[in-house]
Amino acid sequence: MKIKLISDSTCDLSKELIEKYDIEILPLFVGVGDKNLRDGVEITPEDIYDYVDKSGKLPTTAAPNIDSFLTVFRRWRDEGYEIVHFNISGDFSSSYRNACLAAEEVGGVYVVDTRNLSTGQGLVVLYGAELLAQGKSAAEIAEACAAVTPKVEASFVVDSIDYLRKGGRCSAVAALGANLLKLKPCIEVIDGKMTPSKKYRGNIGKVILQYVDDRLRDRDDIDLHRIFITHTRCDDEIITQVEEKIKSYFDFGEILETTAGCTVTSHCGPYTLGILFIRK
């Protein structure tokens, strides 16, 4: 049986990785004003920055409806494929629930709740792609990917909490204190939910390098197969410094850089950066 891998657009995989591993992307929707636009197809992160700057409002995000999933799933099933579909954490979006309802109707579709977002989700997708290359069945891929999700370590450091505040994820009082102190929080994904952890202070470039040190120092539990550097609007110099910092700690098989898509951009804003990897 032929197998097709599909992911919703929050996986933040680059065009090159999507093409290399032959992954279909099913876009979420981003609402700006009275328009509902397909993530990565009809709207980009730069469009979001422009919208926020001009309106002072954040866009909204919405999951694909059941019909969107049915259309894609049936197309591949009609061509004789079984499907493994990867979703943003079910705690972040109804995308997972809608995919499961569509899968139940179509049959031959295995839905994986990655319990993550961005390239935390992308790591699980690529893990599935490598299992597919090894000849694993759709059921085996889905089971193994579900088992690896608790081992994914995803975190980001945020330059400004303005987007978090506008999105209702940070109270006005907390925002005032953070802005006065110029605090830059680290956000971790734990058990499928975003959780604030350490708070940094200072220039975002120095903060990012300190954050990388904190995530990698004295670790012996990291799978060195690959690591993602995923960011929003960070300049090339910072990215290069982060890559060199990572190399000073570990010899990863792959260090992959991606720009975060509309979901992370909508919540975190520009100059956000995370390193994401799988633990042993």
- Provide the pLDDT confidence category of residue 116 given band limits of 50, 70 and 90: very high
Closest by alpha carbon to 45, among 170, 171, 200, 163? 163
Asked whether residue 68 falls in the same domain as residue 158, the answer is no
- Provide the pLDDT confidence category of residue 140 given band limits of 50, 70 and 90: very high
The CA distance from 158 to 62, in Å, is: 23
Among the residue ranges 16-30, 132-146, 258-272, the one predicted with the least confidence is: 258-272
Q: Where residue 225 sits, what CATH number does that domain have?
A: 3.30.1180.10
Amino acid 11: pLDDT:
97
Amino acid 182: pLDDT:
66
The CA distance from 58 to 56, in Å, is: 7
Q: Which of 99, 128, 149 is the last residue of a domain?
A: 149
Asked whether residue 125 falls in the same domain as residue 14, the answer is yes
Asked whether residue 128 falls in the same domain as residue 92, the answer is yes
* % of the chain exceeding 70 in pLDDT: 92
CB-based contact 27:64 (threshold 8 Å): yes
Check pLDDT > 90 for residue 197: no
Asked whether residue 171 falls in the same domain as residue 106, the answer is no
Domain count, the chain: 2
Asked whether residue 118 falls in the same domain as residue 61, the answer is yes
Q: Which of 100, 118, 149 is the last residue of a domain?
A: 149
In a 3-state reduction of DSSP, which class is residue 90? coil
Q: Which domain holds residue 143?
A: 2-149
Q: How much is the mean pLDDT over the chain? A: 91
Amino acid 223: pLDDT:
98
Asked whether residue 29 falls in the same domain as residue 67, the answer is yes
Average pLDDT over residues 160-181: 50
Q: Which of 94, 120, 149 is the last residue of a domain?
A: 149
